[in-house]
């Protein structure tokens, strides 16, 4: 990736992000990591439905999705590369005990945000690192967010500014952008809200020698 890095120049490990998420790329770039992006699609819908039918908890679903993404890419690289650490991540939203998917349109996002205002929801996330086709590290996070009781006028202005970007996240907001104005209170790590628990991941990479300590 472009930009300055602080990863050890003598380190043989290669880091791969198994996600097409722009904000996850930005987080790793901002931390000065040298990595590449490889995305191998997994059937997230099928995984969620099967696990929900089995009574799985949201944290188990987020973890399974992150692991599936990391393993899919890690296994695809087995024949051609060594010492590749693949980072997979996923996040689900829970409100009133219900698991939500990303809104499919701006109109769906509008209705989602109307239902969320004045209420609390949780973002449950997982980061899984795979190597040689096996998971070698994982981290689970949960953040709690209180959405303020904003006006209909504010909501329409917000939707005009964000446009189709509201369909790119499960909560219909970019917390690192104008979406921060939707909230009155949050409990949890900033990076976990964005979808990638950076500080625990960096500590793991330092502990295993993948980046400079």
Q: How far apart are CA 103 and CA 166, in angstroms?
A: 8
Whether residue 157 contacts residue 151, with contact meaning beta carbons closer than 8 Å, is answered with no
For residue 120, which phi and psi values (nearest 5 degrees)?
-100, 145
Give CA–CA dist 110/153, Å, rounded.
Answer: 12
d(CA 110, CA 117) in angstroms, rounded, equals 11
Q: Do 147 and 117 contact (CB within 8 A), yes or no? A: yes
189 is annotated as an active-site residue: no
How far is 198 from 28, CA to CA, in rounded Å?
Answer: 8
CA distance 100 to 94: 6
**Catalytic residue among 53, 90, 96, 207, which?**
90
Q: Which of 83, 66, 86 is nearest to 74 (CA)?
A: 86
Q: What is the dihedral of CA 23, 27, 32, 36, to 10 degrees?
A: -50
Angle value at C-alpha 69, between 67 and 85, nearest 5 degrees: 80
Q: Give catalytic residues, as residue numbers.
A: 90
């Amino acid at each position: 990736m472009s930009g300055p890095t602080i990863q050890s120049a003598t380190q043989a490990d290669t880091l791969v992000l198994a996600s097409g998420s722009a904000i996850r790329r930005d987080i790793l770039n901002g931390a000065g990591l040298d990595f590449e992006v490889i995305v191998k699609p997994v059937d997230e819908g099928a995984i969620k439905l099967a696990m929900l039918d089995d009574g799985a908890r949201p944290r188990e679903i987020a973890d399974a999705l992150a692991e599936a993404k990391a393993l899919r890419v890690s296994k695809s690289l087995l024949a051609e590369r060594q010492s590749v650490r693949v980072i997979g991540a996923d996040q689900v939203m829970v409100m009133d005990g219900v698991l939500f998917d990303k809104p499919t349109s701006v109109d769906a996002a509008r209705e989602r945000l109307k239902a969320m205002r004045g209420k609390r929801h949780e973002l449950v996330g997982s980061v899984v690192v795979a190597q040689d086709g096996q998971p070698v590290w994982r981290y689970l996070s949960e953040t709690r967010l209180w959405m303020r009781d904003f006006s209909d006028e504010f909501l329409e202005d917000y939707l005009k500014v964000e446009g189709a970007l509201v369909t790119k996240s499960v909560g219909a907001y970019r917390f690192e952008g104008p979406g921060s104005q939707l909230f009155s209170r949050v409990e949890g790590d900033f990076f976990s809200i964005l979808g990638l628990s950076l500080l625990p991941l960096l500590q793991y990479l330092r502990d295993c020698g993948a980046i400079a300590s």
